[in-house]
Chain A
Amino acid sequence: MKVYYKTLKDLPREELFAPGHRMCAGCGAAIAMRWITKTIGPNAVIANATGCVEVTTTPYPETAWMHPYIHVAFENSAAVASGVEAAIKTLKKKGRWDAGDTKVVVIAGDGGTYDIGLQSLSGMLERRHGILYILYDNEAYMNTGIQRSGSTPKYAWTTTTPVGTALRGKVQWKKDIMGIVMAHRVPYAATASVAYILDMVNKIKTALDYTEEGPTFLHIFAPCVPGWRYPENKTVEIARLAVETGYFPLYEWDHGKLKLNPPSNNHLDKSKRKPLKEYLKLQGRFAHLTEQEIAEIEKELDAYWEYLGKLTQL
């Protein structure tokens, strides 16, 4: 990534995401939205998928958005953005675009990205549209009331993966969305966390700049207070622990090279990672986990780190 902001002092001061929206107190996605909007600057069009962010920020006749913003449906934000990008491109050519170098940014949740929106995302990536696609991942369908998604981790409680005697939370592992995106050979894709804002904003800016070459992708980890069942002041703490325990590594895929970012760059050595339990124990959705189940998750995580390690050797 290119470093646009060295310290917090360098960060953009102007707020481009209005308060008064209806996102939950302590919402991780709200922190992400605030920094996405500040970082992309005012000359951008935002296409948003249906989801928590969409419904809580646009209660007619009010909007929290200060950018030109469009929401169409759940599964098609990448397709809508493709149209916006194509329109700007051709209107520029024909001398009918008066806003200069306008960027196009998608904001979608995990449902709109991993599941129902995967096809339109893949199409957008394959066609090489100059669009920054930002996934805010809260690991379930929170807007409809906490149902499991392709992003929900194994054993996590949701309303559709209840903890019973036969099944104990979600049965399957979380989908590797970054792997899917990287397989499209995009110029740039990265993970980021609302606990590591400086890292996140530099990645947003880098990804935005690379849209000159083609599609870019950001996977932002955004804890959810009601969905993950934790006290609302713990959002950043949990997001930080996700990184420190190696559960959500920070890395970037820059033109075919994978690079781990601090602090994840030290975490290939397992002893440098905090015990996973510290992350899990703060969340009600994992309250039922046995030692054995935690060990199983840890094992899977170790395998994932081994895979990441190999990717860094590419």
Chain B
Amino acid sequence: MMQKTKLVEALTGNYAAAYAVKASDVDVIAVYPITPQTTIVEKLSEFVANGELNAELIHVESEHSALSAVVGASAAGARVFTATSSQGLELAHEILHIASAMRLPIVMAVPARALSAPISIHNDYGDVMNAKDTGWIIYIAASAQEVYDTIIQAYRVAETANLPAMVAYDGFLMSHTVEPVELNDEEEVRKFLPRPLRPYTLNPKRPVTMGPLASPDWYYEFKYQQATALREAYKVVKEVDALYGEKFGRSYGVVETYRMEDADYAIVTYGGAAYGNAKAAADMARERGIAAGVVRIRLYRPFPTMDVLRALEGVKAFAVLDRAIMFGSPAEGPLYKDIATVMFMHGVDKPAVNIIHGIGQRTMYVEDMYKIYTMLKERPSKEVVFMGVRI
């Protein structure tokens, strides 16, 4: 059922995240400030101070403790939230693995930011990409509206799959950009998030031990269990997105495509700035006679293998625009490596170029993206292309 009246607010990506947390009736929040995540913390503090959100807000002394505290709170049965960026995500990295292995439905927002050194407060996806293989469900949103919708969806997904979920988006380019965001009726959000009975919680009435020591006879089974659970979460993500669409009128799928129906050339990317500007470039390219399209990875983990294969089925060549550098890799782009794996496993052999751009928020001009299309048409590079850098 659709809502009767629309409530549209002008919100930054970070405020959209905070509004989603409020709507989701979160119980415990533990956060430590870091640019560009800070305004989420500020907004949530305001909600709690005004009594608009009935939650315990723990102002921890580090991101490591932020994630540790929400692990404890989630284990005790609370619905929890945390958020961080860049070095904060790195500091918490140890606990990322533990949170997913303990199968706790934590939701974390990550306005993505470049990693030190040199220190940069600006946007790229070095932080998120370094966390991509820690067993979390990872969404990368492309608008403030999607940040809002995805955080709400993430609670339902996490609490169904018993896995933590990360909702990433461009630091600054989205976290600090005011955009229209349609807010849901909070009562309806609460109905959408019914708090399913958790398999195990810390409760003296039903004492369990969490986080034991596993010998070689047992450890592998738990890791297999975890790998399987994350693969199977794909279905949950899709179902929840569809249900959310039915109820609130907005859904996104796991992979979003733009003008791909008849595209010969595609840019595959993630995040708001890269996707938005690639769309503008595809329009430009089509005006100039190139059948261009864009594929955006919304669900990064578990990887939407078949959706990517299908999206790129008809193209003659494609480029993967990555916003992070995995040093020393055969190709430095993390998404490129994933897509190359998909193509190799499925016997697809077509020109595919890895473009690196937008590192430390180097401006990705629409014109740059247009050049990717002409390059794909004329002579796809065999080498990784570091775009926008002075070489």
Write the residues of chain A forming the contact surface with B, with a CB cutoff of 8 angstroms: 42-45, 47, 54-55, 58-61, 63, 65-73, 75-76, 78-84, 86-91, 93-94, 96-99, 102, 119-120, 122-123, 126-127
Contacts and interface: CB of A to CB of B under 8 A. Distances in A.
A272 to B, nearest CB: 42
B60 A123 contact: yes
Contacts of A73: 68, 94-95, 98
B72 A83 contact: yes
A61 B94 CA distance: 24
B235 to A, nearest CB: 29
Contacts of A81: 72
B236 interface: no
B281 to A, nearest CB: 45
A60 B95 contact: no
A81 B210 CA distance: 13
Interface of A is mostly: mixed
B389 interface: no
Interface string B58-69: 111110111011
Contacts of A79: 30, 60, 64-66, 68-69, 72
A91 B78 contact: yes
A75 B28 CA distance: 21
Interface residues of B, number: 46
B54 interface: yes
A69 B95 CA distance: 18
A83 to B, nearest CB: 3
Contacts of B206: 68
Contact of B213 (A42, A55, A97): A55
B212 to A, nearest CB: 4
A105 B4 CA distance: 49
Interface in B143-195: none
13 contacts: A42-B204, A59-B213, A72-B71, A72-B72, A83-B28, A86-B30, A86-B73, A89-B56, A94-B54, A97-B77, A119-B61, A126-B61, A127-B58
Give the residue among A61, A65, A68, A93 with the most B Cβ atoms within 10 A. A68
Contacts of A59: 212-213, 215
A67 B59 CA distance: 28
Contacts of B201: 68
A82 B209 contact: no
Nearest to A43: B204
Contacts of A71: 210-212
Contacts of B283: none
Contacts of A99: 203-205
Nearest to B221: A60
Contacts of B77: 87, 91, 96-97
Contacts of B95: 72-73, 76
B27 interface: yes
Interface in B68-95: 68-78, 80, 94-95
B214 interface: yes
Please give me the 6 A-B residue pairs with the lowest Cβ-Cβ distance, nearest first: A83-B72, A123-B61, A83-B69, A79-B65, A58-B212, A83-B73
Contacts of A93: 54
B224 interface: no
B384 interface: no
Give the residue among A61, A90, A94, A120 with the most B Cβ atoms within 10 A. A90
A69 B54 contact: no
A135 to B, nearest CB: 18
Nearest to B206: A68
Give the residue among A66, A69, A81 with the most B Cβ atoms within 10 A. A69
A79 B218 CA distance: 28
Given A59-B213, A60-B215, 8 more contacts: A60-B213, A68-B207, A76-B95, A79-B69, A79-B72, A87-B27, A90-B55, A91-B77
A220 to B, nearest CB: 22
A126 B65 CA distance: 13
B209 A119 contact: no
Contacts of A47: 72
Given A91-B76, A122-B61, A80 B69 contact: yes
Contacts of B215: 59-60
Contacts of A76: 64-65, 68, 95
A65 B213 contact: no
